[in-house]
Structure 1
Amino acid sequence: MHILFKFMMKNIFEKKLRFVLIVFSIAVATAMTFASMGVSNSYNEMILEKMKAKVGDADLIIYSNDKNKSTFLDRTEIENEITNNKAAYIFDGEGIYKSDNNILKLNIKGCEIEDLNKISSIKLIGSSDEGLSLKDNEVIISNNISKKLNLSVGDNINLKVEGKEITAKVKNIAINKGPFLESAGEMNVIIDNKGLSKLLSREKLITSVLVNVDNKENIEEYKSQYKNNLPNYDIKETINKEDLQNRVKQFTLPFYLMLIIVLIMAGFIIYSAYKVIIIERMAVIGTFRSIGATKCSTNIILIIESLIYGILGGGIGLILGIPILNYLCDSTNVLKSYGVETIVKINNINYIYSFLLAISISFISSIIPIMNSSKISVKEIILGTFSENKRLKLGNLVLALIFLIIPTIYLYKYKFTGVFLISISCPFLIFIGAALICPYFMKIFSYLFKELYRVFLGNLGAIALDNISSSKALINNVVLLMSTLSAVIAIYVASNSVSGLIITQYEDMNYNFKIQGSKLKYAKDDIYNLDYVNNYMEEIILNGVEVKDKDFDIKRLEGIEEDKFLDFYSNVEIYDDKGGLQDEILKNLQSGNNIIINNILAKKKNIEIGDKIQLKIEDKEIIYNVIGFVKGDYINNLGVALVDKELLKEYISIGYENNVLIKNNNTYDVTSNKLKEDLESYNLTISSKEEELKVDLQENEGLMNSLESFSLMALLIGSLGIMNNLMVSFMYRKKELAVLSSVGMSRFQRGYLLLIEGATIGIIGGILGALEGIFISNFIEDITYSLDAYLKVEISIKLVVLLGALGAILIMVASIVPIIKSSKLSIVEEIKYE
């Protein structure tokens, strides 16, 4: 056993290139696994950071409802009720900051800073936050605003709040976290509530209360208690945990799907590399077995070798996984525009899972060639008569046809079932079916084109084509390229479709500026009276509206102005089952609790005209009557449903998104700053359509770039596997090539033969991969539909051709290694026993 172990170690370090190939493949798989698991936790933390920006660690928020005569809260009444829990009493105000170069919307929070700091931790720049205090006109500002406005501790700053000019003094500068997460064009300020009331010459007011429940298991119990005892107030949980989990699941799903492809590629590489290792060592293994070594002992040594590769690859993969995770987290941080810094959260258990996966994939991928080698007799080894099995099994053909036919029937007959498991299973069936049918395709291709190859490429062309159709190792190269390329194409098609959808969405929205803010209702007349405003439309948007007693939500409920909707949204079709006109169907929204549902949701949930659905809006349950359907790329992707704006206002209190879309006259050159100046007294957030398009594209670009990086990594390690398979095929045929060389084949002709094989594999694999990629891409619509985020797919033929060509070129480059090896072939060494 000691001799066998020394032999193993000697061989590991002699074959440095193969050692690097196997360890690199395992390292990549480990790093990608570690990064995929880590990005889920990190994204969860970033979403939580955004959700906690206004509420910190508070579990409940209390504010006035429509039963209360005032929008302000009675502190004494609430204090008497929530004696057992920590609370922060807050005045949320708005204002404006204006200088020569900047106009910013001001969000000013008046509170007792000690209470707020217990619930929403404030981290200061350059000083401890212990003993944090504010008085009179002292304020805390963010580090970003400090740099932007060139403000330091002790500087005065002029602000406009409730129509009054006040002068505040910068007491502290805070890190951009928690209450100091700011969107573009905004600034957040914290001030002592008593000090603010003095500056504004009014009494101290409270608009909301943040409550931190001591026992987290009793949140629902406290919420119910407060609702019963404080009927004039609304009490809500600050964070919707179910919504958070759904967002994280939808975000991380593509990474795990791509990871499966990477793991398959890595496993295939290790499998093919081990076939090369065993073929090379077969003579020595035969010698050991002829002098007493058992099959078990030689197998154990080979298994130990595979575990060594797994341990080394796993260790390197964990080191590589950390920068990859950092890159993924940063590139997929869709909240940068809101001031959320990239958070990288590493769970220690992920190190263990990833390392165990590295060892497992190395062991599982190597065990098949190891066990196959033990079946070869000593006589076959010594005489060199062993070879790969070239028989094709009829069962594989039947299975391949079934796996390809099922998705085809589903695609053309049963598409849009809305069942995720069915939608995601079809691409994997195609993936497996294409791999199984590939050997039969190559046999047919060889039969049809063998003579054509002979005419244009000579006898060597015909021999090369025959070799490909009969060699499992070479056929596996076609499978490997085809499978990897199809996954890459599907990812790139999805990426292009997302970008295309966003651009189309904004092209179909006919407005120049969007205005948001709580005081929009007071500003409408002034907006319309501006000379450069041609038209405007108000919208109310509620996200994630629960449908009572149903297994779905309305993702985006829009309260609209019916007579203006089609002027601001083009390429939108509204219809019913009676052929009614679009304007008439829209107008009917005003006649009661009527709703128009997007056609994708209606089809998925079998909703028909006249159906009743009960929506939970805040604490009210309202029954709506379905009077029509709406379809359009933007509508379907966001899951929009339409209701009347004025009727919707009756059911909501505060906390909803209120937009005004503006069309300006073409004769005026209007900017966002011009609108901000003219409407500065209303403290509104104003953005142009171009600015919003840029932000949306940037937010999606990071995610898609990360997925594209994953797919290209799969293509890279796939090409390494192909190079290895070319070596496997060459080693199986060394004796055959030596015999041909002994009867006149030159080194050039051997290289030419291998080059034809590589080029044929590259071209056929590239074409089949492109076709398979297009086939799989047709299921992207169905997969996104099942996830309630319909994406219309646009397949760019130019992109498919470019990726197919890239795959073919990689194979031709990979074929250089066996060509070089063939030039060093020793005829005497290979046929000395013949």
Structure 2
Amino acid sequence: MKVFIKYIFKNMTEKKGRFVLLILSIALSTALLVACTGLVDVIKDGFTSQLTEMSEGQDIYVVNNSDNPYFTEQDIDTSNLENIVGRLETVGVISENEKIRYVSVSGRKSYDKSIIEGEMNYEDNSASCMISKRIADERDINIGDILSININGEEKGFEVASIAANEGTFYGDTNNSFNIIVPYEYLNEEMDAHDTYNVITAQVKSGSVKKFVKQFNNANEFFEASNIGDISFIGVGTLNVSLYGMLSIVVLVSSIIIYGVFKLIINERLSVIGTFMSQGATKKKIERIILSESLMYSIIAGIVGSAIGELILFGIGRMVSPLAKYKIYLPFNVNYVHVIIGIIFAIILSILSAYMPVRAVRKLEVKDVILNRVESINKKGKAKFIIGLIIFVASIVLYEVDKKPSVLSVIEMIGIIVGLIMIVPTIVKLVSSLFCKIFKNNTNVYLAMNNVRTSKLLRNNIVLIIISLTSVFLVSSVGETMKDVVNDAYEEMKYDYKIQSIMASNDRISTTDRIIEKLNSIDGVDKDSICPELRTMGEIKGQTILVMGVEPKTYADMNLYLKLKEKKYKDDYEEFANAEDNAVVITEVKAKEFNKKKGDMIDIVVNSKTYTFRVAAIIDGGLYNNSTFCLIKKSDMIREMHIKEADEITFKVNGDSEQVMDEVRPYLYSIGVQYSTRAEDTQKNIENNEMMSKVISAFSYLAMFVASIGVLNNIVICFNQRKKEFAVLASVGMNVGKRRNLILTESLICVLWSIIIAIPFTLFVNLLVSNSLKYSGLLFDIAFSWTSVPVFSTLIVAIILLASLSTVRKSKKLSVVGELKYE
């Protein structure tokens, strides 16, 4: 067994360049799979652990959503809670050079984490505070200095009495948003709390925290418990689907490469295989030897690829770490389940891809193999073409019969790609025959065309290039379309300014109402355009969804993108606006997903409480929050869910906007509120989409790189198989320069064929991908990016010509006598 493994390993490392290329192609596919499977977990687990650290190990926090936010431990059931800590909390702001910094002010009776300097008297009612070492260093603050903070519009000066380590509640401090701790008695007097709290944190003694939160919230109408470690993401799933789509392209290209490499391996070892056969080795035994080599490649590549995948996840974790500026990164743990999945995937990919060329050993004859006279191993072109044509045509027919987005869209897309791969070689062969007749008087072009016609490997190169070009054309098309769609969408948002980052008020009057009151008092603000929008995250049938509380009329006037005032939705939307019961507007995507129609009842879970709404209208949500939202009336959200503060307030300005904002700006800064223009919001959204597009583009470039490896490999195989042909041509007068021109002309013809096929193919793929995206919730039609054609066509020409240079060099060393000695 040891000798057997040693022999296989020697074969693997005999050609070091090929060894590296094969390991790389399998490892890259494995790495991308590991990265895709671990992406969401890395981000979610990382942020969850940070929240746990900042909460000082507590499981839940409880607040009172009634008109009176203050309560005590006796007001709630604490039988299954321990380590109960009550405190008073408020938020202040520091306004410096028109930049707002947020300060979370926590009134406590004790703090048991590490103290670096000073001492806090928690029973004192003076304006003293504790800050973190990070903030003390960043803002150059020492013990005894005064920290000025605006709280509820009033400037307060806090004397720094203590500096704590960067842990616990101070763990997430940044210069733009940090925490301070003040004596409980100080805030008790300032907030007139009468020895109560507005926040209680605790640990759950037994059972699931999630289950406890749900039971607690269902049992208490006005008290709301939240799971500190529970975090939801909308958008990561869409990114993950996109990454898996690009992964499938890379895997497809890698599979073709492995197929080609093992075809080359068999071609190079024909004499060795013949020797084995002459010594009595069965063909099945030879198959097992070569497949064992494939297994060895896959194990090594699987380990390397899994390591690369984990490194990618490690890098992503560091990139998204909010405290990276301070050299503090999200914790990262290797998920060995993902590693095992990666290695198993590498083994399956390698063995399945190698099986077909290895299986061809069964057709070899001992005499032909020993004399290296094997011309062709596989002659199943006609059957492959017919099957591919059936799949290709069936995919087109399915699309034409029903163009509506459905799960069939994904099947059609897979079918047309598989069909194209199977039919392209035969189509190129037939058309090349025609061109051979046209260019019969041009020797160089004729020979190149004829070689493309007769060489399956050159035609496989065309398939590889088509796949890589299609992927980059598709990504470029999606990127440009997204940019245009975002611009068009914001053009239909009728507002000039958006107020956001609105902090909750401890008063009976909400901050939102105070801002609206201020806007109504300023000349130049269009009073009818003031549109508050309350938001919270909820769940419908276990799916996370954005719940938006709006004023129906002003929201319809502002958000023309959703077309709520147009004939198609006007009557249903007015029914929603005038409904006396709890009514909701949902998107067509979600209505289909939840199997709901107009008039049905639907349960929305917010903070573990279940609220029942009647579906009053179903609309096309387009790209707005990926159609993952629902609308309820602002009054219902305040009454039912006790959410008082708007997530944003939009408004228009009549006349001189700068003059209006000169009056609005100081007030907004004094209460710690930020604002932006519509143009700024548009640009920010475009940048966010560009970031996702860049991530997906990296996969496309990777697919092109891997395809280039395959093309290089096929060119090498092709030259090895045609040495005799080149020797004959050399013997009748073809010199080195003409052989070089022939090889380069072949490569350029392959690229030309690829571009000619890739462009119309991508146009149709765009239609199928558009339907697939619509089915997954992204409602837009992809427009082909014509500007990307010259860029990527030039790039692929350069890559293929570079890949051809190695063959050009080998052609110079061709031995005519050596190749024709048996002839």
Matching of residue 739 in structure 1 with residue 728 in structure 2: yes
CA distance in 2, matches of 1:468, 1:97: 71
Deviation at residue 474 of structure 1 after TM alignment:
1.6
Matching of residue 511 in structure 1 with residue 496 in structure 2: yes
Matching of residue 451 in structure 1 with residue 441 in structure 2: no
1:666-685 paired onto structure 2 within 5 Å: 667-669=656-658, 675-685=664-674
Matching of residue 189 in structure 1 with residue 180 in structure 2: yes
Would you say the 8 A contact 2:47–2:330 is kept in 1? Answer: no
CA distance in 2, matches of 1:454, 1:723: 28
Deviation at residue 790 of structure 1 after TM alignment:
3.3
From the superposition, tell whether residues 828 and 4 of structure 1 become closer, same or farther in structure 2 (CA, over 3 Å): farther
Using the TM superposition, name which of 134-143 and 101-110 deviates more: 134-143
From the superposition, tell whether residues 38 and 637 of structure 1 become closer, same or farther in structure 2 (CA, over 3 Å): closer
From the superposition, tell whether residues 658 and 184 of structure 1 become closer, same or farther in structure 2 (CA, over 3 Å): farther
1:151-550 paired onto structure 2 within 5 Å: 151-152=141-142, 155-162=145-152, 163=154, 165-169=156-160, 171-172=162-163, 175=166, 181=172, 186-198=177-189, 203-217=194-208, 220=211, 223-224=214-215, 228=219, 233-238=223-228, 243=232, 249-291=237-279, 295=283, 298-299=286-287, 301-330=289-318, 344-373=332-361, 375-389=363-377, 391-419=379-407, 422-454=408-440, 458-509=442-493, 510-515=495-500, 516-518=502-504, 519-531=511-523, 533-535=525-527, 536-547=529-540
Would you say the 8 A contact 1:598–1:636 is kept in 2? Answer: no
CA distance in 1, matches of 2:93, 2:319: 33
Would you say the 8 A contact 1:269–1:718 is kept in 2? Answer: yes
Would you say the 8 A contact 1:227–1:234 is kept in 2? Answer: no
1:316-374 Cα offsets, whole Å, 9 max, x none, are 44554454333444556799999995554422343344344445544443344334235
User: What TM-score does the superposition give when structure 1 sets the normalisation length?
Assistant: 0.84
Classify the secondary structure of the residue corresponding to 1:574. Answer: coil
From the superposition, tell whether residues 657 and 492 of structure 1 become closer, same or farther in structure 2 (CA, over 3 Å): farther
Would you say the 8 A contact 2:381–2:426 is kept in 1? Answer: no
Q: Which runs of 5+ in 1 are unaligned?
A: none
Classify the secondary structure of the residue corresponding to 2:640. Answer: coil
From the superposition, tell whether residues 222 and 636 of structure 1 become closer, same or farther in structure 2 (CA, over 3 Å): closer
From the superposition, tell whether residues 560 and 361 of structure 1 become closer, same or farther in structure 2 (CA, over 3 Å): closer
Using the TM superposition, name which of 720-729 and 154-163 deviates more: 154-163
Matching of residue 44 in structure 1 with residue 44 in structure 2: yes
Would you say the 8 A contact 1:599–1:636 is kept in 2? Answer: no
From the superposition, tell whether residues 654 and 713 of structure 1 become closer, same or farther in structure 2 (CA, over 3 Å): same
Classify the secondary structure of the residue corresponding to 2:208. Answer: helix
Q: Give the partner amino acid of 1:380.
A: D
Aligned length: 809
CA distance in 1, matches of 2:181, 2:400: 59
From the superposition, tell whether residues 156 and 521 of structure 1 become closer, same or farther in structure 2 (CA, over 3 Å): same
Would you say the 8 A contact 1:166–1:199 is kept in 2? Answer: no
Aligned to 2:20: 20
From the superposition, tell whether residues 320 and 90 of structure 1 become closer, same or farther in structure 2 (CA, over 3 Å): same
Aligned to 1:72: 70
Using the TM superposition, name which of 634-643 and 427-436 deviates more: 634-643
Aligned to 1:32: 32
Would you say the 8 A contact 1:511–1:663 is kept in 2? Answer: yes
Deviation at residue 823 of structure 1 after TM alignment:
2.4
CA distance in 2, matches of 1:417, 1:604: 13
From the superposition, tell whether residues 99 and 685 of structure 1 become closer, same or farther in structure 2 (CA, over 3 Å): closer
Would you say the 8 A contact 1:770–1:801 is kept in 2? Answer: no
Deviation at residue 521 of structure 1 after TM alignment:
1.2
Q: Give the partner amino acid of 2:498.
A: F
Deviation at residue 829 of structure 1 after TM alignment:
0.9
Would you say the 8 A contact 2:534–2:645 is kept in 1? Answer: yes
Matching of residue 814 in structure 1 with residue 806 in structure 2: no
Deviation at residue 826 of structure 1 after TM alignment:
1.2
CA distance in 2, matches of 1:109, 1:528: 33
Classify the secondary structure of the residue corresponding to 1:216. Answer: coil
Would you say the 8 A contact 1:265–1:480 is kept in 2? Answer: yes
Q: Give the partner amino acid of 1:92.
A: E
CA distance in 2, matches of 1:467, 1:153: 83
Aligned to 1:90: 87
CA distance in 2, matches of 1:76, 1:678: 39
1:293-333 Cα offsets, whole Å, 9 max, x none, are 66566555544544443454445445544543334445567
Aligned to 2:549: 559
Classify the secondary structure of the residue corresponding to 1:385. Answer: coil
1:665-744 paired onto structure 2 within 5 Å: 665=654, 667-669=656-658, 675-693=664-682, 695-744=684-733
CA distance in 2, matches of 1:582, 1:451: 65
CA distance in 2, matches of 1:132, 1:280: 80
Would you say the 8 A contact 1:36–1:255 is kept in 2? Answer: yes
From the superposition, tell whether residues 146 and 698 of structure 1 become closer, same or farther in structure 2 (CA, over 3 Å): farther
Would you say the 8 A contact 2:531–2:555 is kept in 1? Answer: no
Deviation at residue 451 of structure 1 after TM alignment:
2.7
Using the TM superposition, name which of 90-99 and 705-714 deviates more: 90-99
Q: Give the partner amino acid of 2:451.
A: N
Would you say the 8 A contact 2:25–2:706 is kept in 1? Answer: yes
CA distance in 2, matches of 1:786, 1:384: 54
Q: Give the partner amino acid of 1:755.
A: L
CA distance in 2, matches of 1:362, 1:353: 14
Using the TM superposition, name which of 91-100 and 725-734 deviates more: 91-100
- What's the C-alpha RMSD, in Å, of the aligned pairs? 4.1
CA distance in 2, matches of 1:18, 1:34: 24
Classify the secondary structure of the residue corresponding to 1:779. Answer: helix
Aligned to 2:771: 782
1:652-690 Cα offsets, whole Å, 9 max, x none, are 213764321133455243798974522355443444445
User: What TM-score does the superposition give when structure 2 sets the normalisation length?
Assistant: 0.85
Between the aligned residues of both structures, percent identity stands at: 22
CA distance in 2, matches of 1:51, 1:142: 17
Q: Give the partner amino acid of 1:514.
A: I
Using the TM superposition, name which of 753-762 and 35-44 deviates more: 35-44
CA distance in 2, matches of 1:337, 1:410: 52
Deviation at residue 726 of structure 1 after TM alignment:
1.5
Q: Which runs of 5+ in 2 are unaligned?
A: 505-510
1:790-801 paired onto structure 2 within 5 Å: 790-801=779-790
Would you say the 8 A contact 2:413–2:769 is kept in 1? Answer: no
